[in-house]
Amino acid sequence: MSLAQKTAIITGATRGIGLSIAEIFAKQGARTILIGRDSERVQLVQKKFREMFSDQHVGIVMDVSNKDDIDSVLKELLKGQQIDYLINAAGISRDGLLIKMKSQDLEDTINTNLLGTMRVSQHVAKSMLRKRKGGCIINISSVIGASGNIGQCAYSASKAGLVGFTKSLAKELGPSQIRVNAIAPGFIDTDMTRDIAEETKLKLIENIPLRRFGDANDVSLAALFIAQSNYINGQVLSIDGGLIL
């Protein structure tokens, strides 16, 4: 199923998983709204998409951890246009043992990964409901939200929260034909994991049945599958090489 004549908002679209999802949606014909908080990177990605695909792709600077920024940007962005897909891929990780973590790091993680996703979804869901044409929301969670991990209490809590949020919102919006699902990546080769020490990486790989990290394309293919499958709702799809079985 082509995504031509469809519009997708992707947060965290300037790198990693978000960028990969935006690219595969654009290749399928969707118009993409590329959201990131770094204005320089947003401009570069917008330029790249317009050169590769068409001038219909738009980059927007917005910090999903900032409620006021979300409110002002999305109020203007959503005026009069149909949004068919929302992919909440923006996320950060502030690792460290809980007893040593700074309060600001805890707040930044929850505000970005959980509250940011909830607030963006709130605005877009209202827009979808007004248009009465259904829609699809995909939240990027993590297998760490299910398994937990030493040094990732805040990250794990934020990603676990996304699972409950996804299932609850799927029940709320389902009668209006708006589907809400989540993807839970395992260890994916992105900017966030490339700083892992080689020795640590080898130990992690020992616990993955496929004996390797995934790449962002593995996740973007899953997002496209969910977007095109109109009877998938309230599910969490793990893309982890068998890490969590």
H or E stretch at 202? helix 198-206
The per-residue b/e assignment along 128-158, b for 16 or more CB within 10 angstroms, e otherwise, is beeeeeebbbbbbbbbbbbeeeeebbbbbbb
Return d(Cα 208, Cα 225) in angstroms, integer: 23
AA letter at 239 = I
Q: Is the Cβ–Cβ distance between 28 and 224 less than 8 Å? A: yes
Active site annotation includes 85: no
Q: Are 214 and 189 in contact (CB under 8 A)?
A: yes
Burial (CB count within 10 angstroms: exposed 0-12, middle 13-18, buried 19+), residue 122? middle
Choose, from 49, 155, 165, 213, the residue flagged as catalytic.
155
Q: Nearest Cα to 215, choosing from 19, 1, 11, 13?
A: 19
**Helix, strand or coil, per DSSP, at residue 58:** strand
Catalytic site positions = 155
